[in-house]
Amino acid sequence: MFTGLVEATGTIAHVARAGDVTVFRVSCPFGGELKTGESVCVSGVCTTVTDFGPGWFSVQLTEETMRASRFSLVTTGDRVNLERALPVTGRLDGHIVAGHVDGTAIVMTLKKGPSAAELWLDLPKELTRYVVHKGSICVDGVSLTVASVNGSSFSVAVIPETLARTTLGGLRAGMRVNIETDMIARYVEKMLGLAPEIPSASLSGELTMERLTQMGW
């Protein structure tokens, strides 16, 4: 697992196809410290190191990962946020991040002020249910707190330190970012029987008085 606290930024040095996977070679400052099989969060996506060397490492991405994330749009030279997995003895700052991207959001605006920036993002409709005011969200591998929600859009406040140390400072309107919603919301939804897994009117995900009665409330 990860925390959403970016350790460093890297650059996509090479993109290639190898059978049914896409291979990224990533330039990064801690490449020589890695080992094969280690997990690295690359802009919010949990990847497994397949090869490494001083200043670089390689990972393989499945078609599902390419579909769910913005990585199908990545080209050589693009910057990415990097975080190694949290050690058992580490401090849990940020929030619990699995590196399992739920989808992508579109940047609406990034307004930089004298002390912070306001970033507005537009989400796919199916993810809006998991985003709440003051809740946690992971944007391109960065742990952030939801400042406000307006329909399918939400905003986060980004401090200058985060803008400088991550790729968020370079975002522009129309760009896509990887999104991982708070996994706690999904567990709660599942335990309450609200997860929209079976498309049936009798098993609606809507929370009604009838549904509450069926649940024993």
- Domain range list for the chain: 8-84
- pLDDT attached to residue 198: 42
Computed over every residue of the chain, the mean pLDDT equals 90
Return d(Cα 48, Cα 65) in angstroms, integer: 12
Q: Residue 207 above 90 pLDDT? A: no
Q: Mean per-residue pLDDT for 64-89?
A: 95
Are the beta carbons of 166 and 6 closer than 8 angstroms? yes
Tell me the per-residue pLDDT of 23-32, one tens digit each, with 9 for 90 and over: 999 999 999 9
Q: Residue 213 above 70 pLDDT? A: no
Q: Mean per-residue pLDDT for 96-120?
A: 94
CATH class of 8-84: mainly beta
Tell me the per-residue pLDDT of 70-81, one tens digit each, with 9 for 90 and over: 999 999 999 999
Q: How far is CA 112 from CA 20, 162, 168, in A?
A: 41, 12, 11
- pLDDT attached to residue 196: 66
**Cα–chain-centroid distance for residue 12?**
18
Q: Is 70 left (phi over 0), alpha (psi -120 to 50) or beta?
A: alpha
Q: Residue 189 above 80 pLDDT? A: yes
Listed in sequence order, the residues at least 6 apart from 201 whose beta carbon sits closer than 8 Å to its beta carbon are: none
Q: Residue 206 above 70 pLDDT? A: no
In sequence order, the β-bridge partners of residue 106 are: 122, 176
Q: Residue 197 above 70 pLDDT? A: no
Look up tokens 């709440």; give the residue: 132
Across the chain, where does the E strand assignment appear? 8-18, 21-27, 39-42, 45-53, 56-61, 79-84, 103-112, 117-122, 136-139, 142-150, 153-158, 176-181
Q: Residue 173 above 50 pLDDT? A: yes
Task: Determine the 3-state secondary structure of 49 from DSSP.
Answer: strand
